[in-house]
Amino acid sequence: MKHILLVENHSIVRLATIFILREVLPAVTSWEADTFPEALRIVSSQKLDLIVLDINLPDGEGFQMIEKIRRIQPEVLIMMFSGVDEEIYAAHYLRVGANGFVSKTSSTEEVRAAITAMFDIGRYMSPDVAEALLRGPFARPGRNGNPLVMLSQRELEVMDLLVQGKWTKEIATFLNITGSSVSTYKTRIFEKLGVSTVLELYQRVSELRDME
């Protein structure tokens, strides 16, 4: 019997994903959470084999979610599941401790393969993710020409918080870094994406995510 937690705030996506999970793993007990705090409560109370975790939860905490889960259950398998471009985010999540990453745009067959691989070998990455990992710090705009690929993990974190409307002080507190560090990252992000204001950043990020 496998014990799985699905963390996803869209009910239709949860329903479809649970259906696939039960196809792949007939003997499964599943829990569902639509917020990250709710997910942490389940992680604290249930021994789990796999957590399928959406990146873009309204109250999610980005890359820090992995660390918080690992503090409670160090050995649990974590598969990131999101609609964001895997070429942009997957390598970063794998580096901070996720075991796998599958896009919501993947075919049903690939999702099944990802779940199977997680239990068979403890990890899953698509060929595109493997390529992104090989490029590492020398990344250049990828197959779709998206410059978001050039952002570092910390720059992505700061960018996501900026487009959410967070101020420098809020970002510094959330990421446990100094305000001057936030300003430095902000400058780098603006340079890489060719913008000069947060409003322009919001518009630019929206355009680039539409390329995914």
**Domain CATH for 185:** 1.10.10.10
CATH number at residue 89: 3.40.50.2300
| Co-location of 107 and 128 in the same domain | yes
The pLDDT, as a whole number, for residue 90 is 83
Specify the pTM. 0.78
d(CA 57, CA 65): 11
DSSP state of 75: T
**pLDDT tens digits for 7-63?**
998 888 888 888 898 888 888 899 999 999 999 999 999 999 999 999 888 777 888
| Co-location of 29 and 55 in the same domain | yes
Can you list the alpha helix ranges (DSSP code H) found in the chain?
11-24, 36-45, 64-72, 86-95, 108-121, 127-135, 153-163, 168-175, 179-193, 198-210
- Kindly give the parts of the chain with pLDDT less than 50: 138-139
d(CA 169, CA 111): 39
d(CA 2, CA 4): 6
Q: Give percent of the chain above pLDDT 70.
A: 91
Cβ–Cβ under 8 Å, residues 19 and 27:
no
Look at residue 172 and tell me if it is in a domain: yes
d(CA 125, CA 36): 23
Q: Which domain holds residue 183?
A: 147-210
d(CA 198, CA 119): 42
| Co-location of 126 and 152 in the same domain | no
- Burial annotation 129-166 (CB, 10 A radius, 16+ → b, else e): beebeeeeeebeebeeebbbbbbeebbbbbbbbbbeeb
Task: Taking each helix axis as running N to C, give the angle between helix 153-163 and helix 198-210, from 0 to 180 degrees, rounded to the nearest 10.
Answer: 110
Please give the backbone phi and psi of residue 100, each rounded to the nearest 5 degrees, phi first.
-160, 165
Look at residue 142 and tell me if it is in a domain: no
Decide the pairing of beta strands 50-53 and 77-82: parallel
Q: Which residues pair with 78 in a beta bridge?
A: 51
Sign for the pseudo-dihedral over CA of 23, 28, 33, 36: negative
Q: For residue 20, give the 3-state DSSP assignment.
A: helix
d(CA 210, CA 92): 20
| Co-location of 106 and 193 in the same domain | no
The pLDDT, as a whole number, for residue 115 is 92
